Amino acid sequence: MFTFAHNNFNVLDLDKSLRFYAEALDLRPTRRFDGPGFKIVYLGDTRTPHELELTWLADRKEPYDLGEKEFHLALRAEDFEAAHKKHAQMGCICYENEAMGIYFIEDPDDYWIEILPANM
């Protein structure tokens, strides 16, 4: 038997990513590891045990290859319309699928995050 623990995104600018996830999704650090040449910060939503792990590597200077951006993280928004308005104001909406009633935002490293209504 297995349970989900976390997902990982590697980031180029950890502070910029932490600010983005706090502002856009209200995700906050739950724990942190600083090692030789790396930093790992886990973010949580305070309601579920699932975490997003942000990994920063000191020697990484070029953007990560995200392929065709088909993999993504998904979060439900209690107030979908308010979330959409906030993300539009932030300028981080990168794709909308009005037929499905969802949209995606893009973080500073170009990872896509799907935003779902609470009932999906």
Q: Which of 23, 41, 24 is nearest to 32 (CA)?
A: 41
What is the per-residue pLDDT for 74? 94
- Return d(Cα 102, Cα 117) in angstroms, integer: 7
What is the per-residue pLDDT for 66? 87
**Total domains present in the chain:** 1
Degrees, nearest 5: CA angle 65-109-2 = 75
Q: For the beta carbon of residue 17, count every other beta carbon within 10 angstroms.
A: 22
Burial of 73 per CB tally in 10 Å (0-12, 13-18, 19+): middle
52-110: pLDDT as tens digits: 999 999 999 999 998 877 778 999 999 999 999 999 999 999 999 999 999 999 999 99
Residue of higher predicted confidence among 117 and 67:
117
Confidence band of 3 (pLDDT split at 50, 70, 90): confident
Quote the DSSP letter at residue 13. -
Q: Please check whether residue 67 lies inside any domain of the structure.
A: no
- Return d(Cα 8, Cα 15) in angstroms, integer: 16
CATH at 12:
3.10.180.10
Compute CA 79 distance to the chain's CA centroid, rounded to the nearest angstrom: 18
What is the per-residue pLDDT for 34? 96
Q: Please check whether residue 64 lies inside any domain of the structure.
A: no
pTM over 0.85: yes
Q: Please check whether residue 1 lies inside any domain of the structure.
A: no
In the chain, % helix, strand, coil (3-state, to 5) comes to 20, 40, 40
7-52: pLDDT as tens digits: 999 999 999 999 999 999 999 999 999 999 999 999 999 999 999 9
Encoded tokens for 90: 């932030």
Q: Please check whether residue 104 lies inside any domain of the structure.
A: yes
**Could you tell me the residue range of the domain that residue 44 belongs to?**
6-59+72-117
What is the per-residue pLDDT for 14? 98
